[in-house]
Amino acid sequence: MVDALHSEVEQIFKEVPKTSRILMFTATMPGKIKQLVQNYLSKNVSTIETDMSSIGHQGITHQYSVVEPIEKLDILLHFLYERIEQQGIIFCKTKAAVNKLGKNLAKNKFSSGTIHGSLTQGIRDRVMGQFREGHIKVLVATDLAARGIDVKNVSYVVNYHLPDTYEAYVHRSGRTARAGAKGLSLTILQKEEVVDIADFEQELGIKFNEVKKANSDSIEENNTLLWARKIFKTKPNRTVTEDFKSKVKTIFHHLTKEELIEKVLANHLNHLAQTNHRQPNLEKNLKKERK
């Protein structure tokens, strides 16, 4: 944000009378802001800092979970479904990742929205307004959003990708536990990233607790519940003719509601089993092709 508004901020400083008393509030002091201080504030500037180890993370529980890349989305969906009535923010490293994850959440009928730097200010304002008012439960964002979100009801933050800097983690996790509330910051890691956790702990003075990822049975159950929600939320296809619907009804007319549910569920689980059976073979073939 400093990069985007640097020239405007400099122009404001130039217009401020030399006798003015200036107070600057900032969560961090990167190089660009330090340069502004040196260029435009008094040489006798006073700096007041808070102790991040005792103040910055109050009320936040820091957790991480280790997953395989192929199961990352399923683990996230499991986490979100358990908190389907809560508001939260998911942070990704890139705009492309935000867009892809946003589409997956919409596909699974989560009340969600996306925000990143390539969107117009009008779109970002509209999405943020919907999130602030509670119409959107899950916000997927790049770090652009980490510094400007002040929503009291954010129950959790998910780092879908580990941030590149300690400051970015502070900004991300700080979106929860606002106004004295409690909050959760969950980081989803791959095995090779686990070694970085100790550095974050030491630098920020916090403690991460590892939480075991959901097992395969729990994931399968969760995905089936998501599938059922998608059916429930699907709008009727108005282009289907009454004659065609009548033919379909004839096939099912002798079934009770309970019998129909059992058959549809069994069909779905059989399809999942066949898909899961093919997946390992597909991975093996891909590895052979790479060799």
CATH number for the domain spanning 64: value is: 3.40.50.300
Q: Confirm whether 227 is domain-assigned.
A: no
85 and 154 share one domain: yes
167 and 286 share one domain: no
145 and 196 share one domain: yes
Q: Confirm whether 224 is domain-assigned.
A: no
What number of helices (H) and strands (E) belong to the chain? 10, 7
Q: How many residues does the chain have?
A: 291
Question: Is the CB of residue 103 less than 8 Å from the CB of residue 121?
Answer: no
Count how many domains the chain has.
Answer: 3
In angstroms, rounded to a whole number, what is the distance separating the alpha carbons of residues 150 and 205?
Answer: 23
Looking at residue 152, its amino acid is K
121-153: b or e for each residue (b if 16 or more CB lie within 10 Å)?
eeebeebbeebbeeebbbbbbbbbbbbebebee
Is the Cα dihedral 190, 224, 103, 131 positive or negative? negative
Choose one of 178, 213, 248: the last residue of a domain: 213
203 and 61 share one domain: yes
28 and 168 share one domain: no
13 and 97 share one domain: no
Confidence class of residue 64 from pLDDT cuts 50, 70 and 90?
Answer: very high
Worst-scoring range by mean pLDDT, 94-98, 177-181, 192-196, 240-244?
177-181
Q: Confirm whether 269 is domain-assigned.
A: yes
68 and 200 share one domain: yes
69-88: b or e for each residue (b if 16 or more CB lie within 10 Å)?
eeebbbbbbbbbbeeeeebb
In angstroms, rounded to a whole number, what is the distance separating the alpha carbons of residues 158 and 67?
Answer: 14
Q: What letter does residue 236 receive in the DSSP assignment?
A: P
Answer with the residue of higher pLDDT: 47 or 240: 240
Q: Confirm whether 143 is domain-assigned.
A: yes
H or E segment at 63? strand 60-66
pLDDT tens digit string along 240-263?
999 999 999 999 999 999 999 999
- Of 132, 123, 134, nearest to 98 by C-alpha is 123
| 145-163: average pLDDT | 85
Q: Confirm whether 35 is domain-assigned.
A: yes
201 and 92 share one domain: yes
In angstroms, rounded to a whole number, what is the distance separating the alpha carbons of residues 115 and 121?
Answer: 10
Q: Confirm whether 153 is domain-assigned.
A: yes
Q: Confirm whether 25 is domain-assigned.
A: yes
The pLDDT, as a whole number, for residue 88 is 96
85 and 177 share one domain: yes
136 and 244 share one domain: no
198 and 269 share one domain: no
Write down the pTM of the prediction.
Answer: 0.77
Could you list the residue range(s) of the whole structural domain that residue 12 is in?
A: 2-40
Q: What letter does residue 69 receive in the DSSP assignment?
A: G
pLDDT tens digit string along 211-226?
999 999 999 999 999 9
The pLDDT, as a whole number, for residue 290 is 44
Confidence class of residue 2 from pLDDT cuts 50, 70 and 90?
Answer: low
Q: Confirm whether 229 is domain-assigned.
A: no
172 and 240 share one domain: no
